[in-house]
Every structure is written in C-alpha cells, then in structure tokens.
Amino acid sequence: MSKIDVNKIQLDYSDEGKGDVLVFLHGLGSTKKDWDAQIPFFSKHYRTINVDLRGHGDSTIPEKDFGVHFMTQDIKDLLNQLLIKKATIIGFSMGGAIGFQFAYSHPELVDKLVIVNSGPDFNNMGQIGEDLLKNRTAYLKEHGIKTLAKEISFNMFPEDDQVEIRNDFEKRCKKNTYHSYLNTFTALMSWGLGDKIKEIEVKTLIIASDMDYTPISFKEEYLKRMKNASLKVIKNSRHGVVIDQPILFNNVLSTFLKNE
C-alpha cells in the first residue's frame, strides 16, 4: 500500500495492474477491503486504484471537512498526482455518491461510471432516508460505534454461511472513530445532485441487489433521469453485493467494461 498527500490529508491506496484505469470507492464506515474480491480479478487486465477514503481505514481522519465534496476533490487530486487522465469510477454505496459527484464535476476525467447500490440524492430519499438518518444517528449516540458496527454487519450479511464475511466487515467497521463516522454519515445524508444528474453524459452502469435497503424501483427512477445509463439487477444479494455475490458482480462489471 502507498500513501499520498492530497487536499490537505493523506490517502492510503493501492495501485495494481496495467491498462485502462479503474478506481474503486468503498462504502461508509468501511475501507478499501470492500474490494478484496475485485482487485485480484480486475488487476489482471486493468490498472486498479483502490482507496481508503478520508476518515476511513489508514487514510487521515480529519478534524473537520467531511463529506462527498471533499472526497471528490481527494480523488481528483489523487488522479492528477498519478498522471491519470481518464478512469472508470466504480462506487459502492457512499462510494457511489462520490462517483456521481465526480462524474458531474469532472466529466473530462471519467471514461465510464459504475454505481453500486447507491443513488444521486441521499438528501431526498423520502421516508427511507429520513428514517435512516434519525435511527442510525440515535443508535450511534446511544450504543456507540462498536455496537452499531455489529448491527450493520448482521443486517448486511445475516445468513448462516456469511459468518466469516460478516465478522470481517464488523472488524473494520469497529475501527471507525465516533467523530469520523457521525460526521461522514450526516454529511452524506445532506448531499444530493438533484437535477444535475441529467447533465451526466458518460456511459453508466447501475448495479442493484434484489434485497438492497432501497428497492429496485428507487434505482429505476433515477435511471430514467440519466442520458446514458443501464440497470443490472443481481439476485440473492443484499446491500454488500460486491462481497456477498463477488463472482456474479465481477462478471457483470467485466461485461460492461468490455462493451464499447
């Protein structure tokens, strides 16, 4: 792993393989280990950049400056320093929000866009979003980050044969500081692109799980607002599809990347 100074912080990242560039962005409260099943697979044919986002993993935990806009600038600075002029941005959950913002703010740097169980308007998700913000914030304040990590991990990977991946996810989620997680979460839930999503012209793949927190209809709604997007549903999967259905996910992503 390597560290690089960007946007007044240090990012921890990996840079593996050669070829067209893929940038992997993980979910809230996790790390680049979300992509453990993807990097070995895709680095055989692509140059893969896998990042611990600010406030997560081995990257800097700032005192302030949390949220999608800061993370988007971090990734732009990272690509600039690595002399990467074009990349496919692949974002899971919170990483998908960064992907949307990046594609809107820096279209000249984006080859393709892949959004995984995410959306363009965390601040306008209706009752689902309101309940998520209220309940998770209250739970965090009452029980702390370690108990929240256990709760989230079980909800994502509840099956008997998912104990190992559940425990691995819980372990890295527990390492978050209360301050960093709360500030990142509240900043995320205040973010949204609104009508700006219509201006994203890059070829986009939306990957949705059939048992995600938000229904497939949620993804279908914002799909209709995009100019050049398609939707692929992966069955028998919950929110963490990149982890609980890696083979299916990798096949779907690989097919999309190969199609011009």
pTM for the whole thing? Answer: 0.97
User: What Å distances lie between residue 175 and 55, 56, 61, CA to CA?
Assistant: 11, 9, 12
The answer to whether the Cα torsion of 83, 70, 146, 160 is positive or negative is: negative
Q: Which two tokens stand for residue 163?
A: 């104990």
Per-residue pLDDT of the chain (260 residues; tens, 9 = 90+): 799 999 999 999 999 999 999 999 999 999 999 999 999 999 999 999 999 999 999 999 999 999 999 999 999 999 999 999 999 999 999 999 999 999 999 999 999 999 999 999 999 988 888 988 999 999 999 999 999 999 999 999 999 999 999 999 999 999 999 999 999 999 999 999 999 999 999 999 999 999 999 999 999 999 999 999 999 999 999 999 999 999 999 999 999 999 86
Ordered by where they begin, the domains of the chain are: 2-123+193-258 (3.40.50.1820)
**CA neighbor of 149 nearest in space, from 135, 168, 130:** 168
- Phi, psi at 219, each rounded to 5°: -70, -35
Strands ordered across the beta sheet of 2-6: 2-6, 9-16, 47-52, 21-25, 87-92, 110-116, 204-209, 229-234
